[in-house]
Amino acid sequence: MARPKSARSEEKTETSKKQIIEAATNVIALQGLGKATLQTIAEHAGVSSALVVFHFQSKDNLLKVVLGNLREIYKDGWERALQPLDDPAPTRLMRSITFDLEFPRRHPEYVAAWYAFWGEARGGLLYQGIGRVGDDQCRHDIRLIVRDIVEKGGYEAVDEQSVSETIYVMIFGHWYVAHNEAERFDPELARRTFTNFLSSTFPNEDWRSC
């Protein structure tokens, strides 16, 4: 039985939007925010500028959608890396770190687009309003896992806040290398920097088997 015309129309609209969002992401990654005009994005997507305006009204709205889409893509992988919640905390932590380290290699265009937002004043303002929510969630998740390790392992002298922040900053450091020095980035070497740090901080856990 054929689907109703409205359902086919909605599907076509969503497909068109996704096509434009992906094109916008690629243009931003390659050329930066300044050169990502609606006309350039439309050409990259193979659609008319009028269709881009119809779906997103303005460049700022499209940039917000692109940033939100990047956040959702990352969030989906991050949340899956944290599952199942009843796994040992060290295992969950290393699984989330591994996800983070592999993300730039698997999605270099997404990381490049993020750097475009981070590196330009206009994009930075948008990021503060949209992307920071995801950053705060990652910080929160890392700290909860570290707290679990501290409490269950009896590491009373460990400052969970500084350890959590160190992990968070180390992740971004490896993203920088993956983006700006791709030929030098080795996910396995990066992973070893974390296991070495965590082994010295929490010596009673078997980090190398996580």
> Domains in the chain, start-ordered, CATH in brackets?
1-57 (1.10.10.60), 58-209 (1.10.357.10)
Residue found by looking up tokens 């009843």 in the block: 86
Mean pLDDT confidence for 51-57: 95
Mean pLDDT confidence for 110-125: 91
Q: How confident is the model at residue 1 (pLDDT cuts 50, 70, 90)?
A: very low
- The residue with greater pLDDT, 5 or 179, is 179
Cis omega before residue 84 (within 30°)?
Answer: yes
Q: What angle do CA 70, 51, 39 make, to 5 degrees?
A: 75
Predicted model pTM: 0.90
Please give the Cα distance from 62 to 47 (Å, whole number).
15
Mean pLDDT confidence for 1-11: 63
Long-range residue pairs from 82-88, CB within 8 A, at least 24 positions apart, any chain: 82/141
Q: How confident is the model at residue 82 (pLDDT cuts 50, 70, 90)?
A: very high
Percentage, residues of the chain above pLDDT 70? 97
Please give the Cα distance from 190 to 97 (Å, whole number).
10
Using DSSP's 3-state secondary structure scheme, residue 9 falls into helix
pLDDT at residue 44, rounded to an integer: 96
Please enumerate in sequence order all residues whose Cβ is within 8 A of that of 109, keeping only pairs 6 or more positions apart, or say none. Answer: 25, 26, 29
Residue found by looking up tokens 């086919």 in the block: 8
